[in-house]
A = this chain, B = another copy of it.
Amino acid sequence: MKKCDITFPENKTFDIIPIGRIGIDLNANKLHRPLEESDTFTKYVGGSPANIAIGMARLGRKVGFIGKVSDDQLGRFALNYFNTEHIDTSGITIDKTGATMGLAFTEIKSPTESSILMYRDNVADLKIHPKDIKESYIKKSKCILISGTALSQSPSREACLMAMEYALKHNITIIFDIDYRPYSWKCEENVSIYFSMVARAADIIIGSREEFDLCERIVDPKNEDDKVTANRWFEYKAKIVVIKHGKEGSVGYTCDGLEHIVKPFPAKLLKSFGGGDAYASSFVHFLMQGKSVADSLELGSAAAAMLVSSHSCSDAMPTEKMLLDFVRAVKEDL
């Protein structure tokens, strides 16, 4: 059995560098109505790896980012927001080809019935280019986080693979947040090809059961067993595999053979999305702090509960104090 010690080196400029999507959410201000009938919208920074960057910055981490924004007011808004949150933006390039920020109009018909309308033609975030990936920047971080959607199209796909190569070369921990968004993939077969390629190089893999199915579709299309899944990736480089099961909670596997089951945290559901990025950022933060995998997962679950009861997916990310207060308050209620 492989020793299961993810240790994060000291003396690094950054704790984490997420790679991928940074976009704009336009959230309908009035809840519980179809998007057609929503008059006014509030704009937020959005996109899974951007949300994770904000989440970890709020928790006090030193955060870099590799991405690309449009050369317009919405691109500048995103950069400004990151700067205000003390996220390093030197790894973010500005598109000069007329690409736009990806837009996500959120529609909250009821607490359990939400949807997102994506306007992502010619988006800047999928134009990150291998040339934008600086070996020196990657080397400065304890870990990088590759968001699966960034693998969906070239040249962003190759930018991620390049970052992965540099991380492997310099022994930087690789976190793979599978983050499968069907609308971004033009060819369904490619999903499994690239997901399994990154999964084999990753130290930590986080995804839903359905997302792990995609990673295994070529080698073992019939498997639905979490433990078999986790062991598959432990044969490669992975040390922690986190499999999420929606309302039924999640399970964290470690390569020493342990299994950690986490129940979902009680939440007043306002919308059915946004929890995953809070989960990932809290989990990684507390893991870096030296907490056990089990404890880190539970705190991830608590952060998710906070987010699904908030209007935004980024601006509502809690500080450590807010998160711990929330956990305490909920536990006292029980």
Contacts and interface: CB of A to CB of B under 8 A. Distances in A.
Interface of A: 26, 29, 34-43, 72-74, 76-77, 80, 100, 103, 105, 107, 117, 119, 121-122, 129-131, 154-155, 158, 161-162, 165-166, 169, 187, 189-190, 193, 196-197, 218-219
Contacts of A165: 193, 196, 218-219
Contact of A130 (B29, B43, B117, B189): B189
A73 B35 contact: yes
B154 A117 contact: no
B77 A35 contact: yes
Nearest to A79: B36
Contact of A193 (B34, B105, B162): B162
Contact of A41 (B26, B80, B166, B218): B26
26 contacts: A26-B41, A34-B73, A35-B73, A36-B73, A36-B76, A37-B77, A73-B105, A73-B117, A100-B121, A103-B103, A121-B121, A122-B122, A130-B189, A154-B154, A154-B190, A158-B187, A158-B189, A158-B193, A161-B197, A162-B193, A165-B193, A165-B196, A165-B219, A166-B218, A169-B219, A197-B197
Given A73-B117, A122-B122, A165-B219, 15 more contacts: A26-B41, A35-B74, A36-B80, A38-B43, A40-B43, A41-B41, A41-B43, A73-B107, A100-B119, A119-B119, A121-B122, A130-B189, A130-B190, A158-B190, A162-B193
A227 to B, nearest CB: 20
B72 A117 contact: yes
A117 B74 contact: yes
A130 B187 contact: yes
A166 B218 CA distance: 8
A35 B105 CA distance: 18
Contacts of A107: 73
Contacts of A35: 73-74, 77
A220 to B, nearest CB: 9
Given A36-B80, A42-B39, A193 B73 contact: no
A82 to B, nearest CB: 13
Nearest to A183: B98
Contact of A39 (B43, B155, B189): B43
A35 to B, nearest CB: 4
A93 to B, nearest CB: 15
Nearest to A189: B130
Contact of A40 (B29, B72, B117, B129): B29
Given A155-B187, A196-B165, A36 B77 contact: yes
A316 B77 CA distance: 29
A54 B161 CA distance: 35
Contacts of A121: 100, 121-122
Nearest to A162: B193
